Structure 1
Amino acid sequence: MSALKDRMAKGLTIMLTEEDEAAAASMKPNMPTTGPGQTMQITALRKQIEDLKGKLAKSDDANGAAEVRLKELEEQLASAATDVEISRLVEVPGRRRYMSPEKKLELRENLRHNKLVHPIVVRPMANGALEIVSGHNRVDQYKELGRDKIRAVFEESTDDEAAASAFYANLLQSDLTDYEKYRGFKQMQKRFPSITQAKMAEQSGISEAMISYILAFDDLPVEVIAILEQQPALIGAMAGKTLAGLAKTGRAAEVIAAVAQLAEGEIDQSQAVKLATAKPAKAAGPAETVKIKAGKADYCVMRRASNVVRLQFKSDDEAKRVQAALHKVLEAESAAFIAEQRD
């Protein structure tokens, strides 16, 4: 224990030196008291948390020190939060992260019995409302639980900054679907027309190659996109790129049919790709018909289509007699074929 800490622990009445005062100050939370100062501090904390989460997500090795630091930062962020009226919250379309009904139920029960560890992020609006930047699903579950307030931290940002902040915050969630990532990257491209895939890779921590796969959703038929809007977890980026490539080569109808079956649960994702890739069965050529006469009447009509021969007689008895004769002929042909193969 340092001399300063030792004296503080003993509760002695002492005169602190300037060095001691600086050290004591460093041991206290350093949260600004002014509104703008708090906003800057909160923004910096969120950035540190997001960066650290990104590093931990990429690491195969659990880093104890990093996890401890992440917990400290999250606790500091939570202490900076304040309760806000849920009735003041408004949602901007396109920011909500998809969550399955099962996950929603898990989240609701967690929040029913535990305090909110991660406050939502809001942005003040001119009319007094609060725009949700991050935390839509947490807000929903608070409403389901009948609560009228939720912990939130404030962010002062432009529309573009808020959109980017919401997307990259969601991107760090492991259960974000590839299609939702696609929608987010498309929003980034729309808001920042000059942004490159390399820049998006740098900002998101996702490889440039993977971003290329994700953006291949662009080339899927509109019918498939409509299905993905309802079921965003249906197709991953790898399968999406393959299906998009097939659609571009003229197999859009096959892709649509395969994804429709996938959406109905009739096949899985790999089977959908195989189904859309499979070449159609070769159509049989036109049937060849030969009529064998007995005088002026037809004795037999013979039809052949590809490797199938069909004989039709006037009577059942005649068909049986010819069948017996053909049996002998075919056995002789079979024996001759085997002999040729041996030679």
Structure 2
Amino acid sequence: MKLAYRDLYPEFAAALANLTLQPQQQIVACLGGGADSQTILDLLDRWRSEHPEQRYLAIHLDHQFHPNSGTWAQGLARDCARRQFPHHGEVLTVAQGNRVSKEAAGREARYQRLTELADADAIMLLGQHRNDQIETLLLQLKRGAGPKGLAAMAKQTDAGQGAGTQTWLRPLLGVSKAEIYAYAHHHKLFWIEDDTNQDTRIERNFLRHKVVPVLEQRWPQFGASVLRSASLCAEQQQVLEELLTAQLATLCDASGALRVDSLRALSPATQRALLRQWLQQQQATMPSYAQLEQIREQMLYTSNDRQPCIEWGRFRLSRSRQRTLQLSQR
């Protein structure tokens, strides 16, 4: 059944109005090309007509994962030109490791490059929606994630400190994919349908096409319940991180390096929690549970005459002779 059209602009505008925007502050639409990010672009274009005091930019990064990606990038550039909306597009080279999936490597490289291209205090708009949130939580559950993973995606995340804080905002996180399609059709938007999104061999697509529809047919409120659970997990995680941050301040030296001997008297669960929080403060990609256990055992309990080193993704963690942890990028 085709969903009736609902204007998403009031919800979008409320999310932006809830921020403390400054004159000339940059607002960026992060374009993937699908109906979701193109809806974000259209909504931002409407906001732009009412708020000329901000600066605006649309960014599309082409991973070249699909043979038609170059054609798609040209279509997005033409759409921005038609709107007279400032646009930046470029090919993004994605380095892939043995233990990192192509999709994960692409996601990390994309966020890194978006951060570099935007102003230090930019508002970064992402197109993730309610269905994405449900799929993310189920994937995290399948992977055995804890509260942080089950919190899925936050509606708003601040990255950085002080004047260099970028705000990553998902204004449509409570909106269904069907509502986004209804909006996109009603406004005759340009968007791309990636045929790989139908490939159910991909985990997220399997959930999207084979699992979530059955769950929502059996329990119509399933989606709302998942969003509530994710929100509760996020709240508990926030409380935990506040407590861990205060404790870490007593365990780190003046340079921010973590003194591992201070952790040895604590329980394994607390050690893992503090290591995760410290790595998060260092803006590292979070290691798996098995990798974290390897870090905990080797960094805390190997003898003084050894200098263990553990690598995952593009990160390398080592222990100095002073028995402090130091993180670097490969």
Q: Fold conserved (TM > 0.5)?
A: no
Compare the two structures and name the one with the higher helix fraction. Answer: 1
Q: TM-score range by the shorter chain?
A: under 0.3
TM-score of the pair, normalised by structure 1: 0.23
TM-score of the pair, normalised by structure 2: 0.24
